Structure 1
Amino acid sequence: MTLNLAKKMSCGRTKAEAVVKNVLAPRSVQVFIDVLKDPEKSSNFFSIATDSSNHKNRKIFPLVVRYFDPLSGVKNRLLDFIEQADETANATHNLIKSSLDTYKLDIKNLTSYCADNANVNYGKHNSVYKLLQEDDKNVLKANCSHHILHNATKHASDGLDVYIEMIIFKIYGHFSVSARVEVIL
């Protein structure tokens, strides 16, 4: 019945954005926070991943939580999406702690921190990782596997005798005209 009702509804961009921001997103976060806090449903341990991004003239930080749900396995969920101009280690550390406090997640349950390999994240002296370790010495360093894979692929492709970009363009050109394949770039 609810599905049939939803099919009949429509709204413009502004209302749709308001519904997503004010109803669906908070509910989605609350559902996984409840699972994370319930010892019957989860181990209570989690990791945090973040990376700053530019969106026009704004600097945004998504905070992603990864945890293990015994019923459905490893889960990655968006905890927070914060706009902040300051990219220093202290500011990023405070942003993480503030978000954890907002959702009443104990930093002692944080197992690892995942980010790109920039000095601000993993530097020897003043970095987000070092500051998180001051909060809990058991926090592990979890470098971003995507950056590691990208760097390995980039350096490996330098040793090839072919121009890899040309191959990618040819593959894209071949499949982009196919009605059965949707290519997203």
Structure 2
Amino acid sequence: MGGEYLLVDLQKQSDNEIEQKKHLGMMEYMLKHIKARDILNLWQSLLEKFESSIEIDKENGFIYIKWLLWYSDAKVSEDKQVELAKIIAKHLNKTDQEGLMRTIADKYIDEGIARGMQIGEARGMQIGEVKGKYEVAKNMLYAGSDISFISKVTGLSISEINKLSGSQ
């Protein structure tokens, strides 16, 4: 494990050198240009330059294209994701499009579910926090605490506390 390693500076390699590496070149090309402002253009260029490598990637379950999608996803705004899917689809046959697009769709569905869960969790916490305030206020009322003091402690309005005292 302590052997020698070779550091490759992709920025110093020409695109032609990278293209000659065929399948591996896809990965290196994306890594070299990932900071490009126009990721859609980068994808278009990658798919055109490595057209012959797409077939090799297909035989491997589109492992590189899927990885590159995940890798570049943070750089693609939500409004451009459909356009990216169209760019990729142009370079695939119908059957391959469906499989790969399903992968893309699954990723966006997973992101949507995660986002929804975060929102739901935040709302649940807010609801729990409010219920907790009411529970504390009820206990303080039961213990005989002054309504203005309860209001200060819980942050509930005096009218809300009066409603609670009427419902006991």
| Shorter-chain TM-score range | 0.3 to 0.5
Larger Rg: 2
The alignment's TM-score, normalised by the length of structure 1, stands at 0.34
Higher-strand-fraction structure: 1
Higher-helix-fraction structure: 2
